[in-house]
Structure 1
Amino acid sequence: MSNPDRLTGSSISSKLDFPTKLAYGAGDLGAAMTANLLSFFLLFFFTNVAGLDPGLAGLILLIGKVWDAVNDPIVGVLSDRTKSRQGRRLPWMLYSAIPFGIFFWLQWLVPTTDKWGLFWYYVIIAILFNTFYTAVNLPYTALTAELTQDYHERTSLTSFRFTFSIGGSILSLVLANIIFAAFKSNAAQSSGSCSADSLQYLVLGGVCAVIAVLSIYWCVWGIRDRALMAERQRLHAQASEPVEEMSFARQLSVVFSNRPFLYVIGIYFCSWLAVQITASIIPYYVVNYMGLTETDFIQVTIAVQGTALAMLYVWSALSKKFGKKAIYFAGMGFWIIAQAGLFFLKPGQIGLMYVLAVLAGFGVSTAYLIPWSMVPDVTELDELQTGQRREGIFYAFMVLLQKMGLAVGLFLLGVGLSWSGFQERLPCQPAPTQPPSALQAILIAIGPLPTATLICSLVLAYFYPITREYHAEILYRLNERRNARN
């Protein structure tokens, strides 16, 4: 165990060992699996399995995420203020993991055929699930800045995190493919199995919920020693130079007065909105526009996510040489080309569709990696300016915007599909033929909408001010301050 003198600086800025990085990465597996299934399937599930109108389905998702707009900053502040033998972050993950899994599973039930009964059921479950998702995931993301203060080590740690994140996304799709295929096989051998569509989602949700809960516990126990070491260092620093605890309103003021952070949240919001719009419309694009099956949709999505996973390590290595901004520009360039290509694609051009899916994966990878690796740099600038470490509140707004991007994207898609005349599928009935106006709405959602948000993210990234040199200066001044306390 490190002695008190070493805990004042060097131990937390040193490199992390492989098991710690692996355990930390595992913490995002469950969040990624659940978020991925919700992004790709939930709107489609509401309209094509539960039989809800697209506008009503989009409203359910919006209400759930508006609640996230409230609970994210609250959990961020509360986790910053938590006092426990397990530190500030780990208790939140430890005690919220099981409710998180249970309420995720309950989202895939269809308890009634009454549309307003379904509406209120899904609203209540969405609020409860999003509460426990925040309680698990927000303290987890805040740990990035606490486990290490090394600029490149944080990028490496973020790479491990998103290896599990994208890997979890792929795993959820592979499980969906296996489970859906099994149910289709059983349905083909039996009659009167119109409930199979609902049951296959329920089984998929249950399997992924169990994996999600187990991965959270792996993370908690795997990083516990390092997290407690960081907590002792933080308490030692506070004892050396006590600081006045700020009110919630004051902390929000500090967050929004941090100009680099405003660029980061803008970059992340725009890129994540593009991710969510694309993820939510892809099932409709593949099934309704291209005339393929749900299995084909899953394979297209795996092509995107598999490429993104492989490119994480490539972009992480290149960022050390060329910097985060340059890598983000390169990835977004590939992605914009892919989105534009999908807009002009014609039914029957299956091979080209897969090429564009792989190309999109190049950009999706940087959307995962770069904005999250920028946040710890911003929190250090805040510490230099205020004397306090408030990772929780900064990460709260990042997670909030991720969820708000999902909410806005899904709500607009739901309303747009409803206005365009999209026909929802009634339970136990064949899929209806969609009108040309609905197909045109699907094309607009797959092409121009995400392309516009990606271009906005590039403009913001161009003006992001924290370079490697500037970050090195921030760390130097922080170390001087800490050494002066001792």
Structure 2
Amino acid sequence: MNAPTSPTPEKVPLLTKLAFGSGDVGPAIATAIMSFFLLYFFTDVARLAPAAASVILLVTKTWDAVNDPLIGLLSDRINTRWGRRRPWLLFGAVPFGLAFFLLFQTPQLGDAGKFAYYLVVSLLLDTMFTVVNVPYTALTPELSRDYDERTSLNSYRFAFSIAAGLIAAVTHPIIVDAVAARSDVQTGYAVSALIWAVVCAAPFFFAFWGTYERHTPEEAESLPVLESLKRTVRNRAFRYAAGIYLLSWLVVQTVSTLIVYYLTYWLRRPEITPLVLLAVQGSALIWLFIWNVISRRVGKKGVYFIGMSAWVATSLALFAVQPDWPTWSVIALAALAGVGVAVAYLIPWAMLPDVIELDELETGRRREGAFYGLFVLLQKLGLALGLFAVGQVLSATGYITPPPGATAPITQPDSALLAIRLMMGPVAAVILLAGMVLVARFPITKASHEQTLRELEARRAASEPA
């Protein structure tokens, strides 16, 4: 799609917003299913020890430290007739879907063989996730320079993201249970993975067709790779935005991973899992649009403080919940948590384009790929740290892997149940409060960003031939 040629290019056409939003459907589905069910799949379906499963996740995300920034920098440098970012969506979509399908198979292997299989497939999926997701996220500043329009763009993106994650998270266990009733749970996971693999890959083709890239190849940055990474990390505003995102996403991933364990072993009500996930993700989807409106009045910092305060209160309440509490109270708390989840999705990503503009003013170069590569790394690092921490804590507190053929939740030791509640409640609350401290110190405001844009426009005007 060609970039619009109107005199106000900051405004993005609706079709482009929809196409851009669709590009996050695949990553959102994969992230939602892996966040809520991957560790549970490893421990209770594939029957890996929790400690072994968490090692697979840690090794995979260590590989991220290499491939995320690398793909980001490559997307800054590679120019084609389709642009710098969009070709990655076109050619990475199918391999991404295939790798996702392979992750949820259960090969008949010994413990060492299963460990090797899931490690290799996890590394493959992680690489393909990076190939499609880093260039996609780097499209944001290409579409508009307007402060509020970028918040709108990210609202569309995360509306698609949360809606897709909501549908996947709610229907995945329904599909698994329906197939398992006729076969077994392993086949249920395989069938569900096949369905979602196709759904993950398809939207990238619409995103490729419906978006555009504003910058010309001459604007691509040409710093050496290591120097570019050093400059990115040295950017003070980026460090704050990165810290905010890492802390927010760490809680999102940790709580997402624990929900199934919390409902299954603490409340003894695994059957309400789809309803609870619907409440969380459905609330987050609605609040995305509400926060988008509110942010125009109170700013991104104000939105973060309000939303995360609600989530902190919810975390403490979840620790207090007892198995005999009514189901409606659990669902109500899940919906309240969605208020904060929406902020965790929206605000850090809306901050990052402002950081990139400030960096352009300071360095004279646009380096979206480097910044977004590191940001996606933080997203997956949050996922890895959350899953690794949960796996290690469950192992250390005596979590029991269900025996083959178990059809009802077994009884877990009190130490494991307490660990699950602590990580869902007080631990999550403390991490969220740390993120609020960083938001209070974030150096970019709406006024300072507008001044940055004025200075950039003046610089561009001065460099144009008379």
**TM-score tier after normalising by the smaller chain length:** over 0.9
Partner of 1:189: none
8 A contact 2:171–2:274 mirrored in 1: no
Read off the aligned partner of 2:438 and give its amino acid letter. Answer: L
Q: Secondary structure at the match of 2:404?
A: coil
Matched, 1:463 2:441: yes
After superposition, give the CA deviation of every residue in 1:290-323 in whole Å (9 maximum; x if it has no partner). 0012x31122111000000000000001001110
Match of 1:118 among 89, 114, 117: 114
Q: Distance in 2 between matches of 1:433 and 1:177?
A: 21
Q: Secondary structure at the match of 1:434?
A: coil
Q: Distance in 1 between matches of 2:240 and 2:179?
A: 46
Partner of 2:130: 134
Q: Distance in 2 between matches of 1:116 and 1:267?
A: 38
Matched, 1:72 2:68: yes
Partner of 1:213: 201
Q: Distance in 1 between matches of 2:385 and 2:200?
A: 25
After superposition, give the CA deviation of every residue in 1:3-35 in whole Å (9 maximum; x if it has no partner). 99x69xx5542x111111001000000110011
8 A contact 2:176–2:191 mirrored in 1: no
Read off the aligned partner of 1:436 and give its amino acid letter. Answer: D
Partner of 2:188: 200
8 A contact 2:170–2:277 mirrored in 1: no
1:253-268 → structure 2 map (5 Å cutoff): 253-268=230-245
8 A contact 2:44–2:402 mirrored in 1: yes
Q: Distance in 1 between matches of 2:180 and 2:185?
A: 9
Per-residue deviation, 1:426? 3.0
Q: Distance in 2 between matches of 1:2 and 1:272?
A: 34
Matched, 1:403 2:391: no
Per-residue deviation, 1:177? 4.0
Q: Distance in 1 between matches of 2:21 and 2:300?
A: 20
Partner of 1:339: 315
1:301-380 → structure 2 map (5 Å cutoff): 301-349=277-325, 350-380=327-357
After superposition, give the CA deviation of every residue in 1:240-293 in whole Å (9 maximum; x if it has no partner). xxx7x2111211221122111110000000000000110001100000000012
After superposition, give the CA deviation of every residue in 1:13-66 in whole Å (9 maximum; x if it has no partner). 2x1111110010000001100110001000000111111111111111111111
Structure 1 length as normaliser, TM-score? 0.92
* Structure-2 change in CA distance of 1:3 and 1:101 (3 Å): closer
* Structure-2 change in CA distance of 1:444 and 1:289 (3 Å): same
Per-residue deviation, 1:183? 2.3
Q: Distance in 2 between matches of 1:413 and 1:266?
A: 21
1:84-483 → structure 2 map (5 Å cutoff): 84-186=80-182, 193=183, 196-223=184-211, 226-227=212-213, 230-232=214-216, 235=218, 245-293=222-270, 295-349=271-325, 350-430=327-407, 431-483=409-461
Q: Distance in 1 between matches of 2:263 and 2:3?
A: 58
For structure 1, list consecutive stretches of 5 or more residues without a partner in the other structure.
187-192
8 A contact 2:281–2:338 mirrored in 1: yes
8 A contact 2:101–2:194 mirrored in 1: yes
Q: Distance in 2 between matches of 1:437 and 1:19?
A: 52
* Structure-2 change in CA distance of 1:107 and 1:3 (3 Å): closer
Q: Distance in 2 between matches of 1:377 and 1:390?
A: 12
8 A contact 1:47–1:424 mirrored in 2: yes
8 A contact 1:29–1:165 mirrored in 2: yes
* Structure-2 change in CA distance of 1:398 and 1:126 (3 Å): same
Read off the aligned partner of 1:23 and give its amino acid letter. Answer: A
8 A contact 1:50–1:427 mirrored in 2: no
Read off the aligned partner of 2:41 and give its amino acid letter. Answer: F
For structure 2, list consecutive stretches of 5 or more residues without a partner in the other structure.
none
Q: Secondary structure at the match of 1:323?
A: helix
Per-residue deviation, 1:173? 2.1
- How many residues align structurally? 462
Per-residue deviation, 1:87? 0.6
Q: Distance in 1 between matches of 2:337 and 2:237?
A: 27
8 A contact 2:50–2:394 mirrored in 1: yes
Q: Secondary structure at the match of 2:215?
A: helix
Q: Distance in 2 between matches of 1:128 and 1:304?
A: 30
Q: CA RMSD in A?
A: 1.7
Per-residue deviation, 1:429? 3.3
8 A contact 1:103–1:128 mirrored in 2: yes
* Structure-2 change in CA distance of 1:313 and 1:170 (3 Å): same
Read off the aligned partner of 1:304 and give its amino acid letter. Answer: V
* Structure-2 change in CA distance of 1:2 and 1:83 (3 Å): closer
8 A contact 1:272–1:405 mirrored in 2: yes
Q: Secondary structure at the match of 1:477?
A: helix
Read off the aligned partner of 1:466 and give its amino acid letter. Answer: I
Match of 1:60 among 39, 50, 56: 56
8 A contact 2:71–2:130 mirrored in 1: yes
Q: Distance in 1 between matches of 2:118 and 2:354?
A: 38
After superposition, give the CA deviation of every residue in 1:118-163 in whole Å (9 maximum; x if it has no partner). 0010000000100010000000000001111111110000000000
Q: Distance in 2 between matches of 1:181 and 1:54?
A: 23
Q: Distance in 2 between matches of 1:469 and 1:329?
A: 19
8 A contact 1:49–1:426 mirrored in 2: no
Per-residue deviation, 1:178? 3.4
Identity over the aligned pairs, expressed in percent? 44
Per-residue deviation, 1:438? 1.1
8 A contact 1:50–1:426 mirrored in 2: no
Q: Distance in 1 between matches of 2:284 and 2:226?
A: 38
Q: Secondary structure at the match of 2:442?
A: coil
Per-residue deviation, 1:113? 4.0
Report which stretch shifted further, 349-358 or 385-394: 349-358
